[in-house]
Amino acid sequence: MADTTCAICSCTPRPGRTFTFRGTKGQSEKCLRCALGHWPMLRRSLLTALLVGTILAVLNQGDRLFSGSWVSAFYWKIPLTYCVPFLVTTWGALSNSRR
């Protein structure tokens, strides 16, 4: 297997640590650091987190949200509710594009 270089930073990642993305100029290989900054993947992850996080927040905390009885735990529970779908979507995209 030939060594591949990252299309963004030109580093040479270890074998099995490259990620393939399709773009307007064809496929490109990226290292993990550059793959984490791939805007189409981040945008999809953010939109998924917004949709799924909102549904989960309403399902799990809806009674307290709509009654107006906010508790201090909301300040960490609500952001965490949005982080989980973001991380799962990003991990799925990266594991699917891993080479």
What are residue 98's phi and psi, to 5 degrees? Answer: -70, 140
Expressed as residue numbers, the domain containing 81 is 38-97
Task: Say how many domains are in the chain.
Answer: 1
The reply to whether 27 falls in a domain is no
The reply to whether 9 falls in a domain is no
What is the helix, strand, coil percentage profile of the chain, to 5? 60, 10, 30
pTM score of the predicted model = 0.85
**Residue scoring higher pLDDT (22 or 23):** 22
Residue 23: CB atoms within 10 A of its CB come to 10
The reply to whether 24 falls in a domain is no
The reply to whether 49 falls in a domain is yes
Looking at residue 23, its amino acid is G
pLDDT of 43-80, one tens digit each?
A: 999 999 999 999 999 999 888 888 887 788 888 999 99
Q: How far apart (Å, rounded) are the C-alpha atoms in residues 57 and 84?
A: 12
Paired with 19 in beta bridges are 30, 98
The reply to whether 58 falls in a domain is yes
